[in-house]
Structure 1
Amino acid sequence: MAQTVNEVLRNLHPQRNTFTFDDGVIITSDFDSGNLWKCLKKRVEPVEVTEQQFIDDSKSEELKQSEEIKSEPPKQEGFDEYEIWIAPDSIPYQEEISYRTWFFFSITGFPKDMKTIRFRVMNMSNQGKLISYGLKSVFIEFSHQDHLKFIRENQPMFRQPWKRIKAKVDHEKGAEGMKMYFHHQLKPTQDTKDVLYFAFTYPYTFEDVNRSIEEVKAECSKNDHYFHKQTIIKSLEGRDIDLITITANNKSLEELEPVIENEHIIKQNPELQAKRFDKPCIMVTSRVHCGETPGSYMLQGMLDLLMDFTKPYAKILLETFVFKIIPCLNPDGVARGYWRNDTSGVNLNRHYTDPSPLEQPTIYGTVQAIIHAHSHLNLKYYTDLHGHATKRGCFVFGNSIADQKLNIEQILLAKLMSMNSINFDLSESNFSDESNNKKDGKGMGRDSSGRAATYRLTQIVHSFTMECNYATGMRNNTLKPRLDLQNRQILKKEESYVTDIGSQFYKVNGWKSPVFDSEVFKDVGRAYLISILDIEQLNPLPRILKNFDETFETALDRLRKDIDRDLKKPQNIFKSKKGAGGGFKPEFEIIIGNKKDVDENLEKLQVEEDNNH
């Protein structure tokens, strides 16, 4: 039988290539989520500097007067540089040159005399702002034997100790897009067979998504908790869109969940449907934009918290809620190493209002799951997880809710997150129609995003898009110590450097907003669930209480009054065009550094709202 055009294209992977060079170096992107379109080795010769030029350039004013410089210019040596090109989104299906940001490849075969390996990305989309914020590529290194073990045991990429490169990253405008330069110093003991991986930022592959699901399944089985996986629909390339159910086995009902009655949803034996529980539902989705790995790390933070049975959070969360999770909304793009779109060249986060089961099947299936959860499972919280390339910080987009009391409840959850996470920035969050009404170049707006469509479909108060910038934020929060309510103890020692403002992680940057790593993203995910426990008055280790005698009800009412007061100000950040330009300050917020510089920077701040989000 002759293959269709799509079947032929499905087997083409222009992002996955292997390049072998005359010095023995092998560079490959031939793996899940890899992207390296072209690669050339180029010899960069030194720029000749005459002795007089060197003297003129080196003189200080004092030396110019004494005329005592007699040094010769240092000898310059040429070096090899690898020029790399990123495959655009949506190829081989679309010929139009689209987003080009994500790269991910490995290197081996290092010559014994190689001390530094240098790269020049030739055709990147303009990410100069991220680089100016401090973003650097990440790397991981394996010995030959460790790499064999890594492959043999099918270890997840997201569990590896990824590090940011130490060297400076430069960029400039080029003929094919932005050029990005970076280099990496090899270890003196670097062996020829060692393997290094480089990526634009912390990778989280499609295989990682499936590995994470298997980890959760194993932990649930080991701890006698409920786990269910249902493939609700297939992507355009035939990958599974899985709906995961996680909860404790308490409050189970005799009947199973009803089947999603829709001809496009994959039929499942009614006897194999998920169990039904008398609990409200929390729904989380991620990776509608395939390169936005911070979203997967936020979700991983949630899953790690739910599976950490050494702490009290997991037991309470699982006994109180049913979790419905779709961990990857754009699996084709993730697997192919795209940055934003799907194989059709579409921004899937603009198709929740009226998705086509044939053209946007992953979103169609997700909308059916949302409607099903609302109709039958008491859907109470929904959040869609993203990364952000322009607006700094970790924040949420909410919805414009006319009812003042309900609007305060919406903002309350975000305020609680700012009290549970150093890096979550309430001042950058937005709860107005202003962002929804913006249109992208194709006339599509955020009113068709998952968050906005879910609110219209369900009217649930807490329907968020949660974002983390890839690089850094605008400000830090101070966290009050946790109160152990059972033992009436103040827990002054933090369990992680991410929640400890006194840690080296914050100190190294002068206690300004740090350069984010994957642990920051995970922490924001954890803070979301912990803040839900606060709002439900169930947190065993709260930060929001003033003392052991204050009740949750009193504390939450106090915070509601704060929000109400700020909403009544002539300008408040919840309707401000500039986000941080309003008069609201989150409780316990600090900005450490030169106050004059900070004030001047805030005055000059012009947040470029990314129309594509």
Structure 2
Amino acid sequence: MLGINGAMELLLKVITPYTQKHTQVIRTAAEVLAALLKSKSNSRRAVNRSYVPRLLRLHQDWHSHDTAHSFVPIRRALLLCLKHIAKLRSGREAFLAAQGMEILFSIIQNCLDDQSLEPVISIVLQILRQCYPKSPLPLLTTSSAYSFPVPGIVTSEAPRVLTEEDYEDDSEEEEDKDSDSEDVKEEDDDLETDVNKLSSKPGLDRPEEELMQYKAMCLELSCSFEELESKPGDDLNSDETEYANHHHIPTAASPKGLFLNKDQISGGQEKEVLVQNSLLSRVKMGRSSIHLTSKRGPGMNSYRNVHSNDPGIDSSGSDVSDIQASFLEDAGDMDAISCPRISASFSNSTKTRETAEFIDQLLQTHLKPMVFHDPYLYMAKARRTRSVADFTMMAFPDFWGHCPPLSAQPMLQRKCGVQRIKILEDVRRLIQPSDIINKVVFSLDEPWPLQDTASDCLQFFSAFESGNLRKAIQVREFEYDLLVNADVNSTQHQQWFYFKVSGMRAAVPYRFNIINCEKPNSQFNYGMQLTLYSVKEALLGRPTWVRTGYDICYYKNHYRQRTAGAGAASGKCYYTLTFAVTFPHAEDACYLAYHYPYTYSALMTHLDILGKSVNRKQVYFRQEVLCQTLGGNSCPLVTITAMPESDRADHLEQFRQRPYQVITARVHPGESNASWVMKGTLEFLVSSDPVARLLRENFIFKIIPMLNPDGVINGNHRCSLRGEDLNRQWLSPSAHLQPTIYHAKGLLHYLGSIGRRPTVFCDFHGHSQKKNVFLYGCSIKETLWQAEATVGTSNLSEDVSYRTLPKILDKLAPAFTMSSCSFLVEKSRASTARVVVWREMGVSRSYTMESSYCGCNQGPYQGLQFGTGELEEMGAMFCLGLLVLELKSGSCSHQLLTRAAALLSAEEESLDFYLQR
């Protein structure tokens, strides 16, 4: 009513240009006007009456004359008026027409560091972000650059030109402040409150007779002792034998104290993996850390010049030999590393034979031996891996291998105001476009290569296993906008990236902006860095993925996805991850990734080497195929236990009565940290550590280390080749559409049907919003209590043992924290592995174990980012937790307690600590 009756016009007359008289009245009038303009109808009147240029002139006048900053509240109130008007599209158009972007940009340039002007700076930045014209991503379509013809997928329609009408009013406030809170709130309104749904057990989702097919995957329950022994190399075909030179399997000690004897492969007599330091020496005691052999100090970087400011290394790379330098030109090219897809032409190719000899010479001369890695075997495995884009290249880091750094890197200390600076640089592009190059230098959407090797711009590449970079645009001489690819057959899930960059200069900061991220927040705002692998560093004997990047921040940008049509929700927002990198060498080939990559070919290589490393008289290690994926790749299933003492009936009976533990991982391809945790689990279980021996002798481990091979291979972040989240398909999976989930669930159902329900089921994941490692479990009572829906639940009984394992891990594992664990059952998680295995199979200890992409904010690793060593350690600690869980159970045998007591007798205090009842 006040707006209709001329109140705003009256108030605007009271707000005069700068004066030192009646300032309290002017302030009040400006604040009242700002309050009235919160109404959209009043804001429309303000636009129609040309208030925007008048308000801009008033603010300019007060800003230029108020040099002592005595009247900041008046200036702030005038800006609030503009901010409210800018919530309307017509208001933003009026603001742009009045040169508002230029005026406010000029005003803020000289006062960013003035704390007394914080109330003004904050609102100016919000207005600039609100009024920055919204635009579509610089892509022809948001659909993935790769498509795969699978049942149930309809080809998307051709993209259309987007207009301003495609975007809804973006009326939410644009916060400009550097984010200082990373707390992730749990949504109580998603909790399942239906007691029947929580407590009922659904029927079998397939004919019962179908379960008998999984008997063949549990040969340990039926075969004789002789049949249990499989011959090494049975699963290695002739192609792999040709290229897998097992003489090159490393024999040197690793940083964790594990090593392999060369004789275990080449000499025929298998030796057990030796462990110099027991896992027990690396546990944490309560909240105080004992000496940890694996604890890292915060002061070291694996590359001494990871930011190229250490004079200790010649950044020109002049100490790299000629053979190394020539290899850098096409490092990772399968033609150069002799791993093409078509074997017929391969075997007769003169060029390929020459390059094979070259690579063999390079490997023998320069490769640093690595435990559980063989480049020759990796090439053979990669050659068999099937991708949608039919990759013909390998990434050098995956081929050459990775050694964990000797020390963990501290979390990045974020500079105050870095986000504001980046946003203003984005605004500068709009109002000062003369220095913008805007040249596309790489694109998966172009049918021809865009790389200009003669120019001095960076060269990009991502067409290799797990690679993800869709487009690179040179913005300024040393700045690039990057776009990552959506998951195959999808328009979403842009988070994972992994690409090669080359042609860099030394001692030059390069800025990269990944402009089509989707999540509203990221650990990149709270100390996390991306990972980098330098080929030159690897050839110098330091083959290591390290954390890198500075001036890192993550914020909402001006790009929007068009609405789907009338009545649709507003266009999806996108976010920018921006970071600067100073590369360790000039003219290097470096790989940048969201997190430490772990490919499907790496897994298959690892499993092969593990199988050949074990002493088969003591360790039962069986690798088989759970099923074939939609993309034609094998999904491996691994069984690990101890061999029976003999073929006597009582020993075979003890062997077959061991309880099962089922562990899965990597259902979400972008969560590569889950694979590193799984790697630690697998290596520990086959090791000669006394704890591992006890575990093998008392349990049978069924492990599916990669539930989504196709997604991993094709660089997806979350989905399968059908563009669906496989961890939302456990309720009713299809054998034809979700084969890995269907058969994983079938195997679990089979175990239940023969009375061998797993003691623990755990699915390894990665978490992008939280720090540390933690578990999600399932509890009816905790869910109902949290939802305040406890009526009628007084007689509800529940097995509370679901809390025991996380409590144990909280005491044992340096990276684990109980405080982040949750046992709530959400409606949106009803079709996940954790909830389905809990409800349908009756496994009370059914978990998801989440590992942060970032690091720890508590415990011995507080303030440090995770390296692969810490993740692998967590995988081993999980196994130790399973042993302690059994020791604490009422059904634990006297024999096991006695053996465990003997094992821990050297640390009696530890034994008491672990076994507190």
Who is 2:870 aligned against? 520
Give the Cα–Cα distance (whole angstroms) in 2 for the partners of residues 204 and 531 of structure 1. Answer: 25
- Give how far 1:85 is off: 0.8
Deviations 1:409-442 (A, max 9, x none): 2211110000001221111111233xx33xxxxx
Who is 1:280 aligned against? 659
What secondary structure sits across from 1:204 in the alignment?
coil
Give the Cα–Cα distance (whole angstroms) in 2 for the partners of residues 166 and 184 of structure 1. Answer: 5
List gaps (5 residues or longer) in structure 1. 44-78, 150-158, 256-274, 438-444, 477-500, 507-511, 560-613
Residue among 624, 629, 632 paired with 1:235? 629
> Compared with structure 1, are the counterparts of its residues 288 and 308 closer, same or farther at alpha carbon in structure 2 (3 Å cutoff)?
same
Give the Cα–Cα distance (whole angstroms) in 1 for the partners of residues 149 and 909 of structure 2. Answer: 69
Residue among 109, 116, 119 paired with 2:509? 116
- Give how far 1:209 is off: 1.8
What secondary structure sits across from 1:448 in the alignment?
coil
Who is 2:600 aligned against? 206
- Give how far 1:407 is off: 3.4
Who is 1:346 aligned against? 724
What secondary structure sits across from 1:467 in the alignment?
strand
Instruction: Trace 1:10-25 onto structure 2 (pairs within 5 A).
Output: 10-11=388-389, 20-21=451-452, 22-23=455-456, 25=458
Instruction: Trace 1:198-347 onto structure 2 (pairs within 5 A).
Output: 198-220=592-614, 224-250=618-644, 277-309=656-688, 311-347=689-725
More off after superposition, 218-227 vs 329-338 = 218-227
Deviations 1:200-241 (A, max 9, x none): 111111222212212221222577522212212222212211
- Give how far 1:540 is off: 4.5
RMSD between aligned residues = 3.6
CA contact (8 A) 2:531 2:594 kept: yes
More off after superposition, 371-380 vs 204-213 = 371-380
Q: Which amino acid aligns with 1:529?
A: C
Give the Cα–Cα distance (whole angstroms) in 2 for the partners of residues 411 and 16 of structure 1. Answer: 50
CA contact (8 A) 2:533 2:544 kept: yes
What secondary structure sits across from 1:289 in the alignment?
coil
Who is 2:550 aligned against? 167
Say how many residue pairs are matched.
440
Q: State TM-score, norm by structure 2.
A: 0.44
CA contact (8 A) 1:252 1:278 kept: no
2:521 is the counterpart of 1:128: yes
2:823 is the counterpart of 1:426: no
Give the Cα–Cα distance (whole angstroms) in 1 for the partners of residues 746 and 715 of structure 2. Answer: 27
Residue among 89, 93, 96 paired with 2:487? 89
Who is 2:762 aligned against? 383
List gaps (5 residues or longer) in structure 2. 1-147, 156-386, 392-442, 560-573, 782-794, 888-895
Q: Which amino acid aligns with 1:331?
A: P
Q: State TM-score, norm by structure 1.
A: 0.65
Residue among 548, 566, 588 paired with 2:908? 548
Give the Cα–Cα distance (whole angstroms) in 1 for the partners of residues 902 and 835 of structure 2. Answer: 30
Give the Cα–Cα distance (whole angstroms) in 1 for the partners of residues 752 and 768 of structure 2. Answer: 32
- Give how far 1:169 is off: 0.9
Who is 1:184 aligned against? 581
What secondary structure sits across from 2:640 in the alignment?
strand
2:806 is the counterpart of 1:414: yes
Q: Which amino acid aligns with 1:383?
A: C
CA contact (8 A) 1:279 1:378 kept: no
Q: Which amino acid aligns with 1:102?
A: W
Give the Cα–Cα distance (whole angstroms) in 1 for the partners of residues 731 and 693 of structure 2. Answer: 36
Residue among 507, 532, 555 paired with 1:139? 532
Structure with the higher helix share, 1 or 2: 2
Deviations 1:516-563 (A, max 9, x none): 3333322322221111111222585899999738976x964x44xxxx
CA contact (8 A) 2:532 2:546 kept: yes
Give the Cα–Cα distance (whole angstroms) in 2 for the partners of residues 214 and 16 of structure 1. Answer: 37
- Give how far 1:33 is off: 0.1
> Compared with structure 1, are the counterparts of its residues 358 and 118 closer, same or farther at alpha carbon in structure 2 (3 Å cutoff)?
same
CA contact (8 A) 2:467 2:499 kept: yes
- Give how far 1:283 is off: 0.9
Q: Which amino acid aligns with 1:199?
A: A
Residue among 440, 464, 467 paired with 1:31? 464
CA contact (8 A) 1:280 1:322 kept: yes
- Give how far 1:450 is off: 0.7
CA contact (8 A) 1:133 1:472 kept: no
What secondary structure sits across from 2:550 in the alignment?
coil
Give the Cα–Cα distance (whole angstroms) in 1 for the partners of residues 630 and 558 of structure 2. Answer: 33
CA contact (8 A) 2:537 2:543 kept: no
> Compared with structure 1, are the counterparts of its residues 404 and 162 closer, same or farther at alpha carbon in structure 2 (3 Å cutoff)?
farther
Give the Cα–Cα distance (whole angstroms) in 1 for the partners of residues 911 and 813 of structure 2. Answer: 21
CA contact (8 A) 1:399 1:463 kept: yes
CA contact (8 A) 1:19 1:39 kept: no
- Give how far 1:174 is off: 1.9
Give the Cα–Cα distance (whole angstroms) in 2 for the partners of residues 278 and 16 of structure 1. Answer: 56
Percent of aligned pairs with the same amino acid: 26
Deviations 1:94-121 (A, max 9, x none): 4xx211011101123335x663333221
Who is 2:406 aligned against? none
Q: Which amino acid aligns with 2:643?
A: N
Give the Cα–Cα distance (whole angstroms) in 2 for the partners of residues 464 and 220 of structure 1. Answer: 29
- Give how far 1:456 is off: 2.1
Q: Flag the structure with larger Rg.
A: 2
CA contact (8 A) 1:419 1:543 kept: no
